[in-house]
Chain A
Amino acid sequence: MKIGLIGNPNVGKSLIFHQLTGIGVEVSNYPGTTVDLFSGTLCYRKERIDLVDLPGIYSLEGKSPEEEIVRNFITGEEVEGLVAVLDATHLERNLYLLLQVAEYKKPLVVVLNMMDEAEKRGIEIDREKLSSIIGTEVIPVTATQGKNVGEIIPAILFRSRTPDITIPYDLHIEAAIRTLVSVHGISRVVALQALQGMVDDPGIAESAGTLAREIEEVHRMSVQQIIAGNRHRCARVIAEKVIRKREEVTAGSLDTLLTSRVWGPVILCAVLAAILLSVFSIGSYLEEFLVGSFESLIVQPFLSLGLEPLPEQIGLAILLALQAGLGIAFPFIFTFYIFISILEDSGYLTRAAFLADSTMHRLGMHGQGIIPLILGFGCNVPAIMGLRLLRTRRERVIASFLVSMIPCSARTVIIAGIVAVFVGFGAALSIYVITFGLIILTGIVLSRITPGERYGMILELSPLRVPEPGNVLAKSWYRIREFLVIAMPLLVAASIVLGLLQYIGFFSLFAELVAPFSETILGLPGYAASALLFGILRKEMALETLVILSGTADLASVLTAGQIYVFAVVSVLFIPCISTIAVLVKVVGARITFLVSLYTLILGICIGALINILVV
């Protein structure tokens, strides 16, 4: 039996989902998109239930990928029931979506979440009345305390009903629906969609288009606006009937401070800086421990097996890839995601987006664009996946360039590992300054030359809440899993290829070939250029390879401070790592990926050469 959880964003849907399904959750990419669907299986009295957590949406009739997926899901044959999760503190707004869901005539159970908060605000909801108006069972739930969550499954299994509420639309809309239904033999829902230009069938689309134009002429409003207005009015009427007491919500003083003109940006910068600093201090400590134990427990015993050279090379390549992946994934990226999930669940991330809107405008994006950019500091891979948040292709293209240039944790390892150690703290900081300067410049230029539509930001600020530790961990885990699933296999494969190349002696050949070029332009010895090549596999591997190829961990004895600096700048800037390239292809296509790689390659070499000429 397949059941979907449906609701607005930030209504506690995911929390209910996790509480119902526990940890056995599958993440699947819906075909053709990058929107994730979480599904989990649970058993109740020998009945097997597949529960799907649908993405949070405001409407069922929009064009965004999320809305399309939810629409396809609930019109699907195999769906046997829906659980609509409503935020009891914002009932009226949530009823808008519920009314749309009700039109699809699927067996339904309504869950009123956040009852504790509603009670605190003095909101009383007459559940019986709501239940009789909508025609389904209404369950009051406080998901943060797990209260009544257990009622949901028995209710959907045994007591779900098809809702019998009908939204009264404007006379003209109703007339048009009747015409379409009788002429084309379609359902009321399809007729409504056709009027809003969402049906592909040419015959239906044509007559619906004619009717819609007539209605728009009379009303001087678009059909979508009229329909939305009717639904909102219906939602308001219901809300007025069932809510006994209502209190005007005033913005808390904390909220006012967080979004204030003066302090807002200061707090935002402080929060980001604090997160980055803590991630790297916690991360480097954990990494040392993890990589060290992996080395002594697995790599050393493997080497002592004394295998043939070829299998040994391949085995070592696999182990090194695993070691590197784990060494970066858990200490840095996972820690980073915990912080980001806290920011997200507390509702601060949407405020950050609002505050950043003005700055992001100059870079050709909107406030939401800051979220993937921040994620990029952890790892570029999930940040690129996060680009689906952006609504236009234009913004996604610009952001894909900028995110690929953000110094992720691996690049920070290089900067901290060699520049800060061998050259100095100021020099390490200056690499950040150079990188950010280039990111800003790139953004300004791209915002001028990238074609495509511009949309403004329309973003609901989610209420400020204390995050739930369980939910934060679950979210971070799903995010890190994205990294493990996509990046790890690539890492292993690429590592094997590089291992084989090394086995056949490609690298000494490459070093020889590239040496004249790298010595004249970048002032770097040939083996440093080979090390840069390894950086494509995974950024901080450039550093490890450099250490191996130069034959000493004390780089200052073989390279000058200038050479180390140039090496770091080039490896930070040039070509995103292979995993980033793979997701880029998936999200923005091969052409843009190629452009991003080419651009960063040229940029890296040019800036490196420039520093080499000017400074060294």
Chain B
Amino acid sequence: MKTSAGEDILEAACLLLEKEKSIPTVRKVAGRLSEDEDRVRKEALELEKGGFLRLEEGDIIELSEKGREAGLRTIQKHTVLERFLSEILGMERAAASEEACILEHDISDETADRLEGFIAVPRGRGRRLQRGRRRLLTLADVPEGTDLRVVTVRCRGGYERLADLGILPGETIRVVHILNHKAVVVRVKGCDVALSPEIASSILVERLQ
């Protein structure tokens, strides 16, 4: 079992190895984490039992394949969370990084992937297809007659009006009409609402089964 302290060690060791190209030791890892060397050593021994790493002569940490994967995964989660917190939610970089250090241990792989996908989608229209990633479904991507559930409303200006009309996360809507340039008419609460393309493409939806 890896604990959050264990994950921190794997992450730090990975960073040292990949980014700084230096051999990770207990001291260096403890330095990065601002932790007591003895505690790091104790935790590392636990990780050794789990097969994540091996403690060599001179406190050198040698990551196993499993340990490297776990470390990289944690780094990825950290980066995604930090970007999400700072770029999307507007937190300070430093505070976001600190928060990410705590959150990275608890979020699932799926959440991290979805968050990454979310951040990867650029705001404007048309650029959406550039990335090969699994892209999120928006109101502008579905055919007429589809029943949908609103997942997120991402547009900034004037989205209070959307909420007033009932277009907010969790609400079920149906696409009634689509014009050539992707303006849509959706039915929400029995009323038809026309939305222009830039608004339609910033409303993330999922299909109802």
Q: Tell me the chain B residues, 118-156 only, with Cβ under 8 Å from chain A.
A: 153, 155
* Residues of A with C-beta under 8 A to B160: 59, 61-63, 224, 228
Within 8 Å by CB of A366, from B157, B165, B177, B196, lies B196
Which of B162, B169, B190 is close to A221, meaning CB atoms less than 8 Å apart? Answer: B169
Q: Is the interface of B mostly helix, strand, loop or mixed?
A: mixed
Cα A63 to Cα B163 in complex, Å, equals 14
**Contacts A224-B160, A228-B163, A350-B194 given; does A457 touch B183 at CB 8 Å:** yes
Q: Is the CB of A93 within 8 A of B165?
A: yes
Question: Once bound together, how far apart are the Cα atoms of A320 and B194, in whole Å?
Answer: 47
Residue ID in chain B nearest A62 by CB atoms? B160
Inter-chain contacts of B159 with A (CB < 8 A): 225
CB within 8 A of A93: which of B153, B179, B190? B190
Interface string of A442-458 (1 = CB under 8 A from B): 00000000000111111
A251 and B191 in contact (CB under 8 A), knowing A96-B166, A225-B168?
Answer: no
Of all chain A residues, which has the CB nearest B91? Answer: A217
Q: Quick one: which of A92, A229, A251, A457 contacts B195, CB cutoff 8 A?
A: A457
Q: Which residue of B lies closest to A93 (CB)?
A: B189
- A90-B164 in contact given A229-B170, A261-B179, A457-B194 (Cβ < 8 Å): no
Q: Is B193 in the interface zone, CB < 8 Å from A?
A: yes
A539 within 8 Å of B (CB atoms)? no
Beyond A225-B168, A361-B181, is A367–B192 a contact (Cβ under 8 Å)?
no
**Is residue B198 within 8 Å, beta carbon to beta carbon, of the partner chain?**
yes
Judged by a CB distance under 8 angstroms, whether B171 is at the interface is yes
Hey, which chain A residues are within 8 Å of B164, CB to CB? 58-59, 62, 96, 228
Complex: how many Å from CA A366 to CA B166? 21
Q: Mark B169-209, 1 if CB is under 8 A from A, else 0.
A: 11100001101110101010111111111110000000000
A259 and B179 CA atoms in complex are apart in Å by 9
A458 engages B177 (CB within 8 Å):
no
Q: Tell me the minimal C-beta distance from A112 to chain B in angstroms.
A: 15
Complex formed: what's the CA distance from A425 to B89 in Å? 62
CA distance A442 to B89 in the complex (A): 39
Q: Are the CB atoms of A58 and B185 closer together than 8 Å?
A: no
How many chain B residues have a CB neighbour from A under 8 Å?
A: 36
Q: Least Cβ distance of B168 to chain A in Å?
A: 5
From B170, B179, B197, give the contact of A355 (CB < 8 A).
Answer: B179
Query: With an 8 A cutoff between CB atoms, is B161 at the interface?
Result: yes
- Return the chain B residue nearest A123 by Cβ: B190
Set of chain B residues within 8 Å of A367, measured between Cβ atoms = 183, 194, 196
Which residue in A229, A455, A461 is a CB contact (below 8 Å) of B192?
A: A461
A186 on the B face (CB < 8 A): no
In the assembled complex, A358 has its CB within 8 A of some CB on chain B: yes
Whether, in the assembled complex, A507 has its beta carbon less than 8 Å from a beta carbon of chain B, the answer is no
Are the C-beta atoms of A460 and B165 separated by less than 8 Å? yes
Does A574 lie at the interface of the complex (its beta carbon under 8 Å from any beta carbon of B)?
no
Question: Once the chains bind, are B196 and A259 in contact (CB under 8 Å)?
Answer: no
Which residues of chain B come closer than 8 Å to A58, judged between CB atoms?
161, 164-165
Tell whether B158 is near chain A: CB-to-CB under 8 Å. Answer: yes
Shortest C-beta distance, B9 to chain A (Å), equals 29
Q: Does A354 contact B (CB under 8 A)?
A: yes
Nearest neighbor of B180 in chain A, beta-carbon distance: A261
Q: Are B165 and A456 in contact (CB under 8 A)?
A: no
Q: A228-B163, A259-B177, A367-B196 are in contact. Are A460 and B191 (CB under 8 A)?
A: yes
In the complex, the answer to whether B193 meets A358 with C-beta atoms within 8 Å is no
Which residue of B157, B168, B192, B199 is within 8 Å of A453 (Cβ)?
Answer: B157
Asked if B183 and A354 sit within 8 Å, CB to CB, the answer is: yes
A229 to B171, CA, bound (A): 9
Provided the pairs A90-B189, A229-B170, A361-B181 are in contact, do residues A456 and B158 lie with their beta carbons within 8 angstroms? Answer: yes
| One of A221, A259, A458 near B193 (C-beta < 8 A) | A458
Bound-state Cα–Cα, A232 to B150, Å: 14
Q: Are B191 and A458 in contact (CB under 8 A)?
A: no
Residue contact B194 to A92, C-beta cutoff 8 Å: no
| A456 and B193 alpha carbons, distance in the complex (Å) | 13
Digitize A35-72: 1 where CB-to-B-CB distance is under 8 Å, 0 elsewhere.
Answer: 00000000000000000000000110111000000000
* A261-B180, A366-B196, A456-B197 given; A225·B185 CB < 8 A: no
A267 to B175, CA, bound (A): 22
Task: Select B158's contact among A93, A455, A460, beta carbons within 8 Å.
Answer: A455
A355-369 contacts to B, CB under 8 A, are 355, 357-358, 361, 366-367
The reply to whether B194 and A353 form a contact with Cβ atoms under 8 Å apart is yes
B163 touching A461 by the CB < 8 A rule? no
In contact, A225 and B169 (Cβ under 8 angstroms): yes
Q: State whether A358 touches B168 (Cβ < 8 A).
A: no
In contact, B158 and A225 (Cβ under 8 angstroms): no
Q: A249 contacts the other chain (Cβ, under 8 Å)? A: yes
- A357/B169 contact (C-beta < 8 A), A62-B160, A90-B191 known: no
Q: Which residues of chain A come closer than 8 Å to B166, judged between CB atoms?
A: 93, 96, 232
A458-B163 in contact (CB<8A): no
Per-residue interface assignment for chain A, residues 328 to 346, with 1 indicating a CB less than 8 Å from any chain B CB and 0 otherwise:
0000000000000000000
| Among A59, A92, A357, A367: residue with most chain B CB under 10 A | A357
User: Which residues of A lie under 8 Å from residue B179 when comparing CB positions?
Assistant: 261, 264, 354-355, 357-358
Task: Establish whether residues B165 and A357, one from each chain, have CB atoms under 8 Å apart when the complex forms.
Answer: no
Contact indicator per residue, chain A 424-466, by CB within 8 Å of chain B (1) or not (0): 0000000000000000000000000000011111111100000
Q: Is the CB of B196 within 8 A of A456?
A: yes
Residues of chain B within 8 A of A456, CB atoms compared: 155, 157-158, 195-199
A362 closest partner in B (C-beta): B181
Closest-CB distance, B100 to chain A (whole angstroms):
14
Does B158 lie within 8 Å of A461, measured CB to CB?
no
List B contacts of A220 (CB < 8 A): 89
- Chain A 76-96, CB-CB to B under 8 Å as 1, else 0, gives 000000000000011011001
Residues of A within 8 A of B (CB): 58-59, 61-63, 89-90, 92-93, 96, 217, 220-221, 224-225, 228-229, 232, 249, 251, 259, 261, 264, 350, 353-355, 357-358, 361, 366-367, 391, 453-461
Q: Give me 16 A-to-B residue pairs in the complex whose CB atoms sit less than 8 angstroms apart, sorted by A's number.
A: A58-B161, A59-B160, A59-B164, A93-B190, A228-B164, A251-B192, A261-B179, A261-B180, A361-B196, A453-B157, A455-B157, A456-B195, A457-B196, A458-B195, A459-B193, A460-B191
> What 7 pairs between A and B have smallest CB-CB spacing?
A228-B163, A456-B199, A457-B196, A59-B164, A456-B196, A461-B192, A354-B194
Chain B: residues with CB nearer than 8 A to chain A? Answer: 89, 153, 155, 157-166, 168-171, 176-177, 179-181, 183, 185, 187, 189-199
Other contacts beyond A225-B168, A229-B163, A458-B195: 12, CB < 8 A: A61-B160, A93-B165, A93-B166, A96-B166, A232-B168, A354-B183, A361-B181, A367-B196, A456-B195, A458-B161, A460-B192, A461-B194
